[in-house]
Structure 1
Amino acid sequence: MTDPFKQLHDAMEEFSAERDWDQFHSPKNLAMALTVEAAELQECFQWLTEAQSQELDEKQLTAVRDEIADVQLYLIRLAGKLDVDIEAACWAKMEKNAEKYPAEQVKGSAKKYTSFMSNR
């Protein structure tokens, strides 16, 4: 795991150890907690229009920051449990996405790659 993920991983390890929470942090439980935090992030935008979601007030933005941090911290903790290098995984996934979504075929489209695969 690379910096800053390594530093955050180490801090999360220490935080959990101080509270004896490692017993609860199985990959399954962390993945489940991650989905809860992602839902809490979605809740920050629930009922907002597209325009409102792009112009959050300071209270809304603070809540969004907190939920983004929660999501990221659970991802870092899960990655640490499974020995996944987040940065390397992200770069590898970007390469896969570039292959699945060639710019010349998908530019301006939100369709899933399976809808245009037959055109390749």
Structure 2
Amino acid sequence: MTVPDTGSSLDPTIQHPTRLALVAFLSGCAEADFKTVRERLQISDSALSKTVAALETAEYVSVRKGYVGKRPRTWLALTFDGRRRLAAHLMALQSIADQARAQAQD
């Protein structure tokens, strides 16, 4: 039995489930407000803030702050490079799954 080649396309930045869930969610929209993302991922404000900070540093996510009326709001968006890197990561995961299925049939 051979071990599937993960290649260099798996990105360690988004291997954590919360980070992957966040970028996957953002890939389906132009941008989303902080509250919506927090509710969708079912995590605390502090956990989301830490996750966003890590992804912003890695240039996966852009953060835009502003106001709606007098209330502050934060919007999150996946960057172009973030979308490209997510697609490469998902292709690498699919390749691993395909190899595992093929080996299971042998």
TM over 0.5, yes or no?
Answer: no
TM-score (ref. length: structure 2): 0.36
Query: Which one has a larger percent strand, Structure 1 or Structure 2?
Result: 2
Query: Which one has a larger percent helix, Structure 1 or Structure 2?
Result: 1
Bigger radius of gyration among the two = 1
